Structure 1
Amino acid sequence: MTVWDRPEPPPSPAPLDRERIVAAAVALADESGLDGVSLRKVAGRLNAGPMRLYGYIATKQELFDLMVDEVYAEILPEERPDDWREALSTLAHRTRHAALRHPWLADLLGGRPALGPNALSVGEATLAALDGLADIDTALRAVETVSAYFTGAIRREIANLRAERATGLSRHDWQRAHGPQLTKTLATGRFPALTKAVYGGTDVDPETTFTTGLEWVLDAVATKLTPPPE
């Protein structure tokens, strides 16, 4: 029986339920990352004894599952997109925005499929937009391909943000700090392709980078969407 199917304990004098537990866990993770989340710390946030939480959640993994599904409620589009490209683009952008609000989400993306009710609703809305455009295996590969792109892109962006917080250096501060060393290295002539990229490439913001890569992936997916024979 999953955590979503298991009944909650009867009410007690101090109000406690899974919704409050998950909200407290998400708040802790937003503040300190996943390392800052434990059943003991969640119980402390709720002024409850740690053992009381085991009546609602059996393991830390169950707590993480509930936290992820809570964030999937933010990813779920307000209206179901009819166009497949809009559906996949919406999924990518809303997942990125959710991860920027909850950076710990990046650590839990890309593993086994999330099976909570909100995650399933997101999956349903996404696949429904591809219905009739290709056989089911092609539709699944399309979603997996786009998901693989935005999961990797989100993890990279979050890793950079964490590095900024850890070092106190913004991306541009870091570039300026390492500029002299890089300039000296490139002047040796050993890295002509990198030299061209450094001096001739356009420096764009993370959102532009994300959107451009996503559009390229969607263009590639479009070439594989052929309606199945009747």
Structure 2
Amino acid sequence: MAEFRGLGFDPVLGRPVAVTEAARRCTEAAARLGDSPVPGEIPEWAGPSARALTDRAEQAAAGLADLPDALRSAAAVLDTWAETLAAHLRHAEELDLRATAARRALLDAEDEVERAETEAQFSPSTAEVATARARLAERRTALDRILTEARELERAHTAEATRVADRLRALGDGVPLPEAPDFPTLATQLETFSAAGRELGVTVARTPVTPVTPPPGAVSAFANALGGR
């Protein structure tokens, strides 16, 4: 995590590498889910239990049918967000360098004012004091401008993160899958890079089909596909 000592705050919360990793996991999970076998037909001589199991498996497969596409779409959104986040981070680092230099200049100007005021006690002239104070005011204004620009970047970053979160949320519009698995590892990663990432857990737990109860092992398999367990 970058430290912005010159600015005094972090205007760009998040880590591009974490976003990229989350996108990669989504892509891999989509591929694994796409390789899930389709239940075969039950022969006529099969009993009620076998038929019921097949019906249940078919319902579960239907419930996951649209999830790989949602995961791939989420990965694309996250990859774009990682690029945007990286650009914002570069801007923040440039502002931090400028702010650090401006703070040093401000300290020098404060020292100059102090020296001028001390010397003025033994001299009738106050011209040097006025000059030093004017230079101090200029240095303060310069730092304030940089900090204002950083705050504007922070607002723009937050607004874009919200838009990304809305896009991720829209990918999962529909009825949520029951007993949606918890992905502690992925959720921890997503928490590190802004509100946008936190919506991914909602996205991957939704699908626009009638909810079904997955057969034993389906939930754990899905969690493993995302690397959450």
TM-score, normalised on structure 2?
0.28
State the TM-score, normalized to the length of structure 1: 0.28
**Greater relative contact order (CA < 8 Å, ≥ 6 in sequence):** 2
Larger of the two Rg values belongs to structure: 2
